[in-house]
């Protein structure tokens, strides 16, 4: 028996081989061409059961074969491939069923012995998509579907993903239309066959399809087309006004003006307008998955604060897909990723998502400032964990540590802070560039230099921390390495970028318009900076500020507020109680809370009133924030 390296290590450590499960080595990926083309046929017609049925034909030769289900997913940055949803796997060669064995130490790997004389195998299986959100993202409804190839394919081990060619076809429910970055080769009835593409790019090319479909051209007459492909719960949600489409068209042009290059041969925003299919935001090189609420257009004013979803995901075509951290760039989907540079990948994209929402007109300038205030307050007073035991760099491990699951004390534990904390760091970088250069150099110069090259190319161009520092130094000499590391590895507030742009963060008893809209949209009471608590619908406490007034009084997440000062709980009731306690310092805020099956009265001794974040101009400095968010 050949002993694997792991077996040798375990034996050396004193483990008996007899006590170990049998397992086989998974061939490592090599940069050699796969001999042949994988053919993938997906039947997506069973919308009643929400099941995708897959039939793959894979060229092989006699001997051991390992089939892999994608594990490490780009955009998710984590080993999150939904292997638990794969079912019914049968492998055949020459019409005969071949036994397969799942590797017990690598459950994403399936081992098969291919008999002599076989030149291909057929793999049949189902992807049992979630029936409700407790099982994962709902990707199939009676009106639409979201087909992600990582969930509906197996591929042979031993090759880089971009050296495996694949041809895919999908059979849709009758009458449905589909949007995707894939190009159509042929159509027969309800089955669409797409042009051959390498497997790496296939996984990067998902599909939105639906009964109610609409396509909008965002760059009419351009040599490089950009479209929005909509699917909706009902035709009425596809009714959109020209003035609502204009900001999306302007977004495309503002991105081009920023970067001076693009990295796709065509691009499709894949948009679901649905209250049934789960929301989504996932980047791809030539497309993005943008799942939002059904009435996004028909209730336009309500959707304002979520419009940066589109500027964020579009920006990823440059930052994350084209330029990508070297440790995030792996040869296939089953080699572990390292997320150390997510503060660039996601953090700078979060920054540009906000800036471009303003430059394109998706947000007004006032809405943009309100959103900067809300984000800044988080890294001023809303993340006590970052002020004490964690740092931004450590949170880049979060996709692997805990994915996007819930946390008992989110503000103290922190979760994926590289997004918005990264945004604040890059705002500060812009301010420093302006200061050092006499306002002649800005973050726009970095964006163009770092992401805006090789127009039209959409292969991956990797970078390291040193590359980021080198580019900044090319624009404006400075000790950027120390500057960035102090912010990534240190503790404390990350709001210096506001002051450098001529604004000050203050707190008043009136919520800004963006925060009020967020409260209504999420049905929450945002009391983090006053009582120290975030309360959801029906009084459910979703987060308690660590060491804040509510925390020190004994409240915790998971409790439910039933009554406030003897009256039934409501958002207005608790805000009125906070205001009353500020006027009468002798009056505590009395909360009747339910904790499991027990009721108790908790008195919170807080008298400083409601507090909401706002930006106020510091007129001693120029307003460079206005210059940053101004359309080019």
pLDDT tier at 58 (50, 70, 90 boundaries)?
very high
Q: Which of 585, 587, 584 is nearest to 603 (CA)?
A: 587
Please determine, for residue 550, whether its predicted confidence score (pLDDT) is greater than 50. yes
Is residue 525 situated within a structural domain? no
Average pLDDT, the chain: 94
In a domain, 510, yes or no: no
List, for residues 214-237, the tens digit of each pLDDT value.
999 999 999 999 999 999 999 999
- In this model, does residue 17 exceed pLDDT 80? no
Q: Is the pLDDT of residue 596 over 80?
A: yes
pLDDT of residue 562: 98
How many Å apart are CA 587 and CA 594, to the nearest integer?
22
558 and 410 within one domain? no
Dihedral angle sign, alpha carbons of residues 248, 253, 254, 258: positive
Name the residue range of residue 112's domain: 1-211
Give the mean model confidence (pLDDT) for residues 433-441.
98
Please report the pLDDT score of residue 404 as a whole number: 73
Q: Are residues 462 and 320 located together in one domain of the fold?
A: yes
Q: What is the pLDDT of residue 403?
A: 72
In which band, very low, low, confident or very high, does the pLDDT at 22 lie, cut at 50, 70 and 90? very low
- Which CATH number is 337's domain given? 1.10.390.10
Give me the mean pLDDT over the 93-110 stretch: 97
Over the stretch 326-381, which tens digit does the pLDDT of each residue have? 999 999 999 999 999 999 999 999 999 999 999 999 999 999 999 999 999 999 99
Dist. CA 631–CA 363, nearest whole Å: 11
What is the three-class DSSP state of 632? coil
Residue 373 within a domain = yes
- Rounded percentage of the chain residues whose pLDDT exceeds 70: 96
Q: For residue 237, is it within any domain?
A: yes
For residue 524, being part of any structural domain is answered with no
Residue 3: pLDDT above 70? no
Q: Mark which of 499, 515, 544 sits at the end of a domain.
A: 499
> How many domains would you assign to the chain?
3
Are residues 481 and 555 both part of a single domain? no
User: 504 in a domain, yes or no?
Assistant: no
**In this model, does residue 136 exceed pLDDT 60?**
yes
**Spatial distance between the Cα atoms of 586 and 573, rounded to a whole number of angstroms:** 19
Let me know whether 265 and 399 are in one domain.
Answer: yes
pLDDT higher at 24 or 422: 422
CB 554 within 8 A of CB 546: no
CB 493 within 8 A of CB 427: no
Do 282 and 156 belong to one domain? no
Confidence at 513, pLDDT banded by 50, 70, 90: confident
Dist CA 287 CA 206 (whole Å) = 8
**Are residues 113 and 16 part of one domain?**
yes
Residue 13 has pLDDT above 60, yes or no: no
Contact indicator for 613, 581 with CB cutoff of 8 Å: no
**Same domain membership, residue 474 and residue 438:** yes
Task: Give yes or no: residues 197 and 116 share one domain.
Answer: yes
pLDDT of residue 205: 98
Is the pLDDT confidence value at 10 over 50?
no
Which domain CATH number covers 584? 2.30.42.10
517 versus 421: the higher-pLDDT residue is: 421
Four-residue CA torsion sign, 129, 135, 141, 146: negative
Same domain, 7 and 139: yes
Together in a domain, 172 and 268: no
Is the pLDDT at 525 greater than 80? The verdict is: yes
Q: What is the reported pLDDT for 24? A: 57
**For 597-613, what is the mean pLDDT?**
97
291 with 162, same domain: the answer is no
How do residues 231-280 score in pLDDT, each as one tens digit? 999 999 999 999 999 999 999 999 999 999 999 999 999 999 999 999 99
Confidence band, pLDDT 50/70/90 cuts, at residue 7:
very low
- Residue of higher predicted confidence among 302 and 50: 50
| Residue 130 and residue 244 in one domain | no
């Amino acid at each position: 028996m050949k002993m694997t390296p792991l077996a040798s290590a375990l034996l050396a450590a004193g483990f008996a081989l007899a006590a170990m499960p049998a397992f086989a080595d998974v061939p490592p990926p090599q940069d050699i061409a796969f001999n042949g083309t994988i053919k993938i046929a997906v039947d997506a017609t069973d919308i009643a059961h929400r099941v995708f049925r897959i039939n793959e034909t894979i060229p092989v030769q006699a001997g051991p074969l390992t089939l892999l289900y994608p594990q490490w997913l780009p955009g998710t940055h984590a080993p999150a491939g939904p292997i638990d949803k794969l079912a019914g796997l049968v492998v055949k060669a020459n019409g005969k069923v071949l036994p397969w064995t799942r590797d017990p130490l690598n459950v994403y790997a399936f081992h098969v012995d291919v008999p002599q004389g076989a030149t291909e195998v057929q793999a049949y299986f189902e992807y049992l998509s979630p029936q409700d959100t407790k099982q994962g993202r709902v990707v199939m409804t009676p009106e639409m579907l979201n087909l992600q190839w990582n969930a509906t394919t197996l591929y042979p081990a031993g090759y880089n993903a971009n050296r495996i060619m694949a041809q895919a076809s999908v059979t849709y429910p009758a009458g449905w239309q589909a949007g995707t970055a894939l190009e159509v080769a042929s159509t027969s009835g309800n089955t669409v066959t797409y042009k051959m593409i390498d497997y790496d790019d296939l996984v990067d090319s998902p599909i939105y399809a639906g009964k109610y479909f609409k396509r909008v051209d965002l760059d009419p007459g351009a040599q490089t087309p950009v479209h929005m492909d909509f699917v909706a719960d009902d035709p009425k949600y596809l009714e959109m006004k020209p003035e609502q489409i204009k900001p999306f068209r302007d977004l495309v042009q503002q991105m081009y003006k920023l970067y001076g290059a693009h990295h796709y041969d065509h691009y499709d925003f894949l948009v679901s307008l649905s209250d049934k299919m789960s929301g989504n935001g996932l980047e791809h090189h030539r497309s993005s998955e943008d799942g939002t609420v059904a009435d996004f257009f028909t209730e336009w004013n309500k959707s304002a604060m979520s419009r940066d979803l589109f500027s964020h995901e579009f920006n990823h075509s440059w930052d994350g897909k084209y330029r990508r951290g070297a440790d995030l760039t792996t040869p296939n989907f089953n080699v572990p990723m390292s997320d150390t540079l997510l503060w660039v990948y996601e953090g700078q994209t979060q920054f540009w998502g906000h800036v471009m929402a303003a430059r394109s007109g998706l947000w007004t300038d006032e809405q943009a400032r309100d959103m900067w205030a809300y984000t800044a307050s988080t890294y001023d007073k809303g993340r006590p964990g970052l002020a004490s035991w964690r740092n931004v760099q450590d949170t880049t491990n979060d996709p692997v540590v805990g994915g996007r699951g819930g946390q008992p004390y989110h503000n103290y534990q922190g979760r994926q802070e590289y997004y918005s904390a990264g945004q604040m760091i890059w705002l500060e970088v812009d301010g420093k560039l302006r200061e050092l250069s006499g306002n002649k150099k800005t973050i726009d110069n970095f964006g163009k230099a770092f992401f805006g090259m090789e127009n039209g190319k959409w292969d991956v161009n990797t970078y390291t921390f040193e590359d980021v520092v080198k580019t900044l130094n090319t624009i404006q000499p400075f000790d950027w390495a120390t500057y960035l590391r102090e912010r990534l590895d240190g503790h404390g507030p990350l709001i210096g970028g506001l002051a450098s742009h001529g604004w000050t963060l203050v707190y008043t008893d009136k919520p800004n318009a963006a925060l009020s809209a967020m409260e209504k949209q999420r049905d929450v009471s945002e009391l983090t900076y006053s009582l120290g608590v975030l309360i959801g619908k029906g009084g459910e406490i979703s987060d308690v500020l660590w060491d804040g007034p509510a925390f020190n009084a004994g409240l915790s997440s998971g409790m439910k507020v039933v009554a406030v000062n003897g009256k039934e709980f409501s958002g207005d009731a608790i805000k009125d109680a906070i205001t009353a306690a500020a006027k009468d310092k002798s009056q505590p805020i009395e909360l009747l809370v339910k904790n499991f099956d027990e009721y108790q009265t908790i008195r919170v001794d807080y008298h400083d009133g409601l507090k909401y974040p706002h930006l106020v101009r510091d007129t001693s400095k120029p307003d460079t924030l206005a210059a940053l968010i101004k359309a080019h």
